[in-house]
A and B are shown apart, each in its own frame.
Chain A
Amino acid sequence: EAGVAQSPRYKIIEKRQSVAFWCNPISGHATLYWYQQILGQGPKLLIQFQNNGVVDDSQLPKDRFSAERLKGVDSTLKIQPAKLEDSAVYLCASSGWTGGIGELFFGEGSRLTVL
């Protein structure tokens, strides 16, 4: 069974530039999450999708971050313009029929460095 796929694994950009991350969840998983993990901190939920609808985006900085999950499968997280404090690992996770309550399956993450 294929896991959660994310790309790119690493990205370095200048502040005020834009960046996009892509995630393909486990096949058949209805719920998709984007987490931000800053060095030394635990993952923080940015946005949660159920199929192609947003369930929770209360901690997404909407002035610069956007995310979409067209067709209820893969998803894209965009940052525009990036700030220095956006340097972090962006983790995508999915959940659904293959796991129990609270069991999220994570990708390896996309590490963003903003200079």
Chain B
Amino acid sequence: AQSVTQLDSQVPVFEEAPVELRCNYSSSVSVYLFWYVQYPNQGLQLLLKYLSGSTLVKGINGFEAEFNKSQTSFHLRKPSVHISDTAEYFCAVTLGGSNYKLTFGKGTLLTVNP
């Protein structure tokens, strides 16, 4: 079975600083990887995903992530954050197949301070 570990439960940063949110996965087979974002009192929204091909994927709002198979990681990055990026970020994995059952990490709360 697949699993996801988000190494940081909270990440505080200052506005315009770069940020990296870490995600490691565990699976014995190929996986699809995702980052979802949850703004306060809202549902989750897809930020970006890795299915195949280029290991660097770009998403909405200037975020990008890099798939590293040897390190089983899928870290999320943004070169310069804004106050509006304050939210909870979830890494998720699926093995694919007809069900595409997503397994989520525990989340990382990104707080951007002025």
The A82-115 residues at the B interface (CB cut-off 8 A) are 91, 93, 95, 99-109
Interface size on A, residues (CB 8 A): 25
B101 touches A42 (CB 8 A): no
A55 touches B106 (CB 8 A): no
Point out the residue from A4, A101, A106, A109 that lies within 8 Å of B100, measured CB to CB.
A101
Which of under 10, 10 to 19, 20 to 34, or 35 or more describes the interface residues of B?
20 to 34
| A14 interfacial contact with B, CB 8 Å | no
Known pairs A100-B49, A102-B34; A42 contacts B104 (CB<8 A): yes
Kindly provide the distance from the CB of B109 to the nearest chain A CB, expressed in whole angstroms: 10
B51 touches A101 (CB 8 A): yes
Kindly provide the distance from the CB of B111 to the nearest chain A CB, expressed in whole angstroms: 15
A108 touches B42 (CB 8 A): yes
| B32 interfacial contact with A, CB 8 Å | yes
Binding site for A on B (CB under 8 A): 4, 6, 9, 32, 34, 41-46, 49, 51, 90, 92, 94, 96, 99-107
- What are 6 A-B pairs with beta-carbon distances under 8 A? A42-B90, A91-B44, A95-B100, A102-B92, A108-B42, A109-B43
Q: A102-B32, A102-B34 are in contact. List 19 more A-B contacts (CB 8 A).
A: A40-B9, A41-B106, A42-B4, A42-B6, A42-B90, A42-B92, A43-B90, A45-B102, A45-B103, A48-B99, A93-B43, A100-B49, A101-B96, A102-B94, A102-B102, A104-B44, A106-B43, A108-B41, A108-B43
